[in-house]
Amino acid sequence: MLTKTRPVIYILSLVLCCGILSCSQRVHTFGKTNIPKSTDSFYLKKRIAQIKHFDANAFAKGTFKGNADTPIAYRFFKSEGSNSKKKLPMVILFHGSNAVGTDNNSQLGILAKLFAMNEIQAKYPAFILAPQFPARSSNYTLDKNRNVLTSVPQPCLQTALQLIDSLKNTLNVDQKRIYLIGFSMGASSVINALSLQPDLFAAGISISGIPQFDHIKELPNTPIWLIHGNMDTENPFNSDAQFFKELDSSNKIRFWEFDKLSHNDIFAPAILNTELPSWLFKHRRKSLE
């Protein structure tokens, strides 16, 4: 249980990855976990400010056209360990709809900067790719059979997948450890991308997204972590709840339901530490084409 004493929470958040997560028996690699809303607003504000302060110039700029008429801009982070002969994982961050554009900056949000921070890179060195979609990467429609929203991939997502293919073949990337993570529209695009190329990625994390149901039979072998607030009305929680229900039997899906959190306050202390990379980096693709 979470303590209400602020100093204790702050120490546990820093040292034990928010106490409840490292000690609770309810937290597993796969399965459902209910996370109570944190009462430590002091730590949360400080941690978010620390992450946002990370220098965006650490990410090099690039553009990629692929087979489409419209190129996409991207930022790319190279770990200090990338200069060695050792192959490194690659983490791809998909942004939400508020970062759609071509400025090649707006997509560098909390997730991209979190994975690039020194304390994360020290334990989990990796290449980090943050493409910026010039238009929506996923749209939503009603799945009439399930009575929930489902996501539909858009053309620019295919360009991003071509960019990933290009980079993994030209850099010293461990092709058994390519990971996806996204928020909101970007989280929806994580599930879309896993459905489009289930043999490319080792694991994916979807935060407050809308899943895709029509290729669900292709996903049981891909580890997926869903994170969603049960008060989310922008991307309704019940879509992910249904997705978890249908994939749960595969034992390859993890679902964190955050109590009393809505769409834009999902970045709670529980996921602003090493928990995301720690879970992702446990997984490797078992075989390559």
Q: What is the pLDDT of residues 134-146, one digit of tens each?
A: 999 999 999 999 9
Phi/psi of residue 110, each to 5°? -60, -45
Q: How far, in whole angstroms, is CA 256 from its chain's centroid? A: 13
Which residues of 167-273 form beta strands (DSSP E)? 173-183, 203-207, 224-229, 253-258
Among residues of the chain, what percentage have pLDDT more than 70?
88
The pLDDT of residue 44? 93
The class level of CATH for 30-280 reads alpha beta
Confidence band for 60, pLDDT divided at 50, 70 and 90: very high
Whole-model pTM: value is 0.90
Domain assignments of the chain as residue spans, ordered by start: 30-280
- Residue 195 CA neighbour count, 13 Å, CB half: 20
Average pLDDT over the chain, rounded to whole?
89
Q: What number is the average pLDDT over the span 261-286?
A: 94
pLDDT in tens, 156-170: 999 999 999 999 999
Confidence band for 93, pLDDT divided at 50, 70 and 90: very high
Q: Is the pLDDT of residue 221 over 80?
A: yes
Q: Is the pLDDT of residue 278 over 70?
A: yes
CB 105 within 8 A of CB 195: no
Site of tokens 């419209």: 70
The pLDDT of residue 217? 87
Confidence band for 81, pLDDT divided at 50, 70 and 90: low
Confidence band for 171, pLDDT divided at 50, 70 and 90: very high
Between CA 149 and CA 146 the distance in angstroms is 8
Reported for 44-49, long-range contacts at CB under 8 A and 24+ positions apart, including other chains, are: 44/268, 44/269, 44/272, 47/13, 47/269, 47/272, 48/110, 48/267, 48/272
Q: Is the pLDDT of residue 255 over 50?
A: yes
The pLDDT of residue 8? 38
CB atoms within 10 A of CB 170: 8
Q: What tokens does 147 get?
A: 């009575």
The pLDDT of residue 135? 97
The pLDDT of residue 175? 94
State the burial class of residue 236 (Cβ atoms within 10 Å of its Cβ: 0-12, 13-18, 19+).
middle
- Residue 75 CA neighbour count, 13 Å, CB half: 22
The pLDDT of residue 240? 98
Q: Is the pLDDT of residue 117 over 50?
A: yes
The pLDDT of residue 13? 39
Between CA 109 and CA 94 the distance in angstroms is 10
The pLDDT of residue 193? 98
Between CA 252 and CA 174 the distance in angstroms is 22
